[in-house]
Amino acid sequence: MSLLPIQLKHLAGISQLLPKNNPGGPPLQRDEASGLHWFNLYKSSTPAQNSMLPILVDLNGNHLWLNCEQQHLTKLYQAPFCHSTQCIRANTHQCLSCPADRPGCHRNACGLLSTNPITQQTGLGELGQDFLGVYLAQGSQLGPILVIPNFLFSCAPSFLLQKGLPKGTQGVAGFGHGPISLPNQVASHYGLEHQFTMCLGRHSTSQGSVIFGDTAIYMPRIHKQDIFHEVAVTPLTITAQGEYNVRVNSIKVNQHTFSLPTQPEDSGAAGGTMISTAAPHMVLQHSIFEAFTKMFAQQMPKQAQVKPVAPFGLCFNSNMVSKFPNVDLVMDRPNGPVWRISGEELVAHVRPGLTCLAVVNGGMQTRAPVTIGARQLEERVVVFDLARSTLRFSTSTLGSRGLKCGDLVNFVHY
Amino acid sequence: MSLLPIQLKHLAGISQLLPKNNPGGPPLQRDEASGLHWFNLYKSSTPAQNSMLPILVDLNGNHLWLNCEQQHLTKLYQAPFCHSTQCIRANTHQCLSCPADRPGCHRNACGLLSTNPITQQTGLGELGQDFLGVYLAQGSQLGPILVIPNFLFSCAPSFLLQKGLPKGTQGVAGFGHGPISLPNQVASHYGLEHQFTMCLGRHSTSQGSVIFGDTAIYMPRIHKQDIFHEVAVTPLTITAQGEYNVRVNSIKVNQHTFSLPTQPEDSGAAGGTMISTAAPHMVLQHSIFEAFTKMFAQQMPKQAQVKPVAPFGLCFNSNMVSKFPNVDLVMDRPNGPVWRISGEELVAHVRPGLTCLAVVNGGMQTRAPVTIGARQLEERVVVFDLARSTLRFSTSTLGSRGLKCGDLVNFVHY
């Protein structure tokens, strides 16, 4: 660290965002068609041509999986043997035996179950170990690449890539809490704090990014504002299925509040609310969906409401609507920190004149009563702190303060 | 790293043993009475007086546990809450609730099962998080201390300390492969390689040590010899119970070989041979013990054999013995690397005139057919490489080359 905290009060200009040993992290892109987010891995075999592998961001995934058949691996690729320390680290005692000797297929290797987070399909792949390269600059094959040697991941069956993912996706990166998730392997390798910051970009002018390790020790002041200003904290828990959870105490639509049913403290859905980059829109369990939709509709001019268009349950004639209500998620406890979602963030402009409430009815059997989707994460700073088990989040969008995720990218210093 | 490998051929003198960011590790001591090994943690509450906590080295343990009742903790001690990321990292979903609010007892904490590796007793403790301090210099309260913030460990019930451990022991440190073992938390914090080197000292003149991360990139040349010279490698596996395993293919006594029964590849005792710092002597399953003892006896003058004294099964009149046979463990495969154990290392001098084969008959039901004990690890360099799943070991003792573990301590540079 190069500056003493006694200087913090003197910092009035641009400061170093990241400590010396922190490589930052990849810029993220948003796929227009699906609303999902992805980044480029470096494909090592033929460097000069077409060396970028698009990989989907899966917040709750516990490992990175790839289709290895397309020669994406270096000559250093190995499949750790059954009962090896690497397999146990990846939490697998399952031995695989496959007659050929190519990536994804070896005798005496370990099996790892991978999931397509959109379709929920699973497939058994081979645990592999190789160099991982992640592009740190966007839009170019040139420039710095973050490299982790001995990175553990799965060579998954190619059918897993076929449905649900943006066109051209070659794999899925898990940002979950597990020992071989992408953030945990990066943090271990660099001796970083076990946390990561995510800022998902909404517009083509605003690039998203993930930053590994601790970020804002010194806060960058852009246009005299501080991108990490107005960040609140709430406890983070992990469900029995390994997903991130937070607790939403109640939901307010304008001033009208309704409480969420409390979760027993030791239930599987620990906090009660999931967060997912694989769900573009917020998902509510059926009864919560009904209550919320009704409350939202009551805040809108009755005459603006029109027949809903699938998959949405509440739609409006946009010409007759001037403003949508704000929706506040009150986190953790009755007067806890507020995750303010502007009405604009909760609607989808289906076609000219038709705007719908972009919240999905998950049915009776959802993984969690509430799932915060990618859309609600966009244009916010969200920090998953796995050392302290907290989530820090922008209370309102960066846009409401004249900033955007793209501003953060410009300041990924080291 | 400060020296290019092109200089390796020029290195003829003392070189840097450890890279810049590697803090080394604690010196170890041997308890005469029990043959067990321990080191000092730093006790943070009253620094000036009596600030050292003796902690037993448990190679296969998966976490560090302490008796927290004696105010060993700092004011920063926390018990991570149930379902927190820290609890999941420690692999525990078990919630504990305890009415008081003191270390070891909190509401909404997590439970972790700790084991006394000598008595095999277990006890449920509370998962705690605090600063860990490890003394890096021996015999003094002065000098550098390795500190890990946010270290995860267990506040275990005090009864676990009462039996089997050297007098004054305040806890047990697990050096196992699991995510919150001491080596893994140190490696993660410093961004080191996931490996550690252990050299257990045998004599009061030879101090032992553990060095975290990678060690001998540049090998110190002491008295023109290289302490890491003559090191062989064998695969390392983890059993279903989380213990380190290697495979001993056969045992040779002088030139006489007998093979060990092969393990099916996917059995629980993966490699077949355990390694333990909690067992002072080698332990053999009953039938292997019988065969080995017979083979050993055949190499000794028949008239030297005397009535055995418990717990040993084969004893000799030492006045009638000039030399004990060498015992070679042939590792991994029929002509694999050899772990040479001199006869001297396998005997115990019970009293003047009486020397016994210090190998224990584990009975019919042992955890593994062969357990390599602390005595066989002493005065050797042993490297547990958890990134590559290998064990590197000195093929013969350092003493056979005029060196000792104490020489390594003098060269813990950084």
Q: Could you give the percent of chain B with pLDDT greater than 70?
A: 84
Instruction: Please indicate whether, in this complex, the C-beta atoms of B86 and A150 are within 8 angstroms of each other.
Output: no
pLDDT tens profile B299-332: 999 999 999 998 888 999 999 998 899 999 999 9
E strand or H helix at B294? helix B286-298
Residue B239 at interface with chain A, using a CB cutoff of 8 Å: yes
Extract the tokens encoding A259.
């409480």
Searching chain B, which residue's CA lies closest to the CA of residue A387? Answer: B86
Residue A80 at interface with chain B, using a CB cutoff of 8 Å: yes
Instruction: Please indicate whether, in this complex, the C-beta atoms of B191 and A188 are within 8 angstroms of each other.
Output: yes
Searching chain A, which residue's CA lies closest to the CA of residue B176? Answer: A85
* Fold match between domain B8-215 and domain B231-395: yes
- C-beta of residue A63 within 8 angstroms of C-beta of residue A179: no
Residue B179 at interface with chain A, using a CB cutoff of 8 Å: yes
Searching chain A, which residue's CA lies closest to the CA of residue B188? Answer: A188
- Per-residue pLDDT, B30: 94
Residue A108 at interface with chain B, using a CB cutoff of 8 Å: yes
Extract the tokens encoding A64.
């990175």
Confidence of residue B379 (pLDDT cuts 50, 70, 90): very high
Instruction: Please indicate whether, in this complex, the C-beta atoms of B177 and A238 are within 8 angstroms of each other.
Output: no
Instruction: Please indicate whether, in this complex, the C-beta atoms of A83 and B150 are within 8 angstroms of each other.
Output: no
Residue A272 at interface with chain B, using a CB cutoff of 8 Å: no
pLDDT tens profile A51-110: 788 999 999 999 999 988 876 677 778 899 999 999 999 999 999 988 887 777 888 999
CA distance B192 to chain A (A): 7
The ranges assigned to domains in chain A are 8-215, 231-395
Instruction: Please indicate whether, in this complex, the C-beta atoms of A386 and B89 are within 8 angstroms of each other.
Output: yes
Residue B240 at interface with chain A, using a CB cutoff of 8 Å: yes
- Per-residue pLDDT, A55: 95
Residue B238 at interface with chain A, using a CB cutoff of 8 Å: yes
Q: How high is the ipTM of this complex?
A: 0.84
Q: With 80 as the cut, is the pLDDT of residue B8 above it?
A: no
Planar angle of CA B313, B319, B324, nearest 5 degrees? 55
Q: What CATH number labels B8-215? A: 2.40.70.10
Q: Which CATH superfamily is domain A231-395 in?
A: Acid Proteases (2.40.70.10)
Cα dihedral A167, A173, A176, A178, rounded to 10, equals: 140
Instruction: Please indicate whether, in this complex, the C-beta atoms of B108 and A265 are within 8 angstroms of each other.
Output: yes
- The position carrying tokens 């694989």 is A278
Searching chain A, which residue's CA lies closest to the CA of residue B92? Answer: A240
CA distance B164 to chain A (A): 29
pLDDT tens profile B240-292: 889 999 999 999 998 889 888 776 554 444 568 999 999 999 999 999 999 99
E strand or H helix at B131? strand B122-135
Instruction: Please indicate whether, in this complex, the C-beta atoms of A237 and B80 are within 8 angstroms of each other.
Output: no
Residue A237 at interface with chain B, using a CB cutoff of 8 Å: yes
Searching chain B, which residue's CA lies closest to the CA of residue A267? Answer: B83
Q: With 70 as the cut, is the pLDDT of residue B413 above it?
A: no
Instruction: Please spell the DSSP secondary structure of A286-325, one letter per residue.
Output: HHHHHHHHHHHHHTS-GGGEE---TT-S-EEEGGG-S-PP
Confidence of residue B352 (pLDDT cuts 50, 70, 90): very high
Q: With 60 as the cut, is the pLDDT of residue A254 above it?
A: yes
Residue A189 at interface with chain B, using a CB cutoff of 8 Å: yes
pLDDT tens profile A351-383: 999 999 999 999 998 889 999 999 999 999 999
Residue A311: asked if its preceding bond is cis (omega within 30°), the reply is yes
Residue A187 at interface with chain B, using a CB cutoff of 8 Å: yes
Q: Given B85, B189, B245, which is nearest A389 (Cβ)?
A: B85
**CA–CA distance, B133 with B136 (Å, rounded to integer):** 9
E strand or H helix at B127? strand B122-135
3-state secondary structure A149-212: EEEEEEECCHHHHCCCCCCCCCEEEECCCCCCCHHHHHHHHHCCCCEEEEEECCCCCCCEEEEE
Residue B286 at interface with chain A, using a CB cutoff of 8 Å: no
Q: Which site among B84, B93, B189, B236 would you substitute to test the A interface, given the most A Cβ atoms closer than 10 Å to its Cβ?
A: B84
Q: Which site among B1, B82, B85, B89 would you substitute to test the A interface, given the most A Cβ atoms closer than 10 Å to its Cβ?
A: B85
Neighbours of B143 (CB within 10 A): 10
- Per-residue pLDDT, A104: 79
Neighbours of A224 (CB within 10 A): 7
Instruction: Please indicate whether, in this complex, the C-beta atoms of A84 and B179 are within 8 angstroms of each other.
Output: no
CA distance B244 to chain A (A): 9
Pick the more confident residue, B19 or B187. Answer: B187
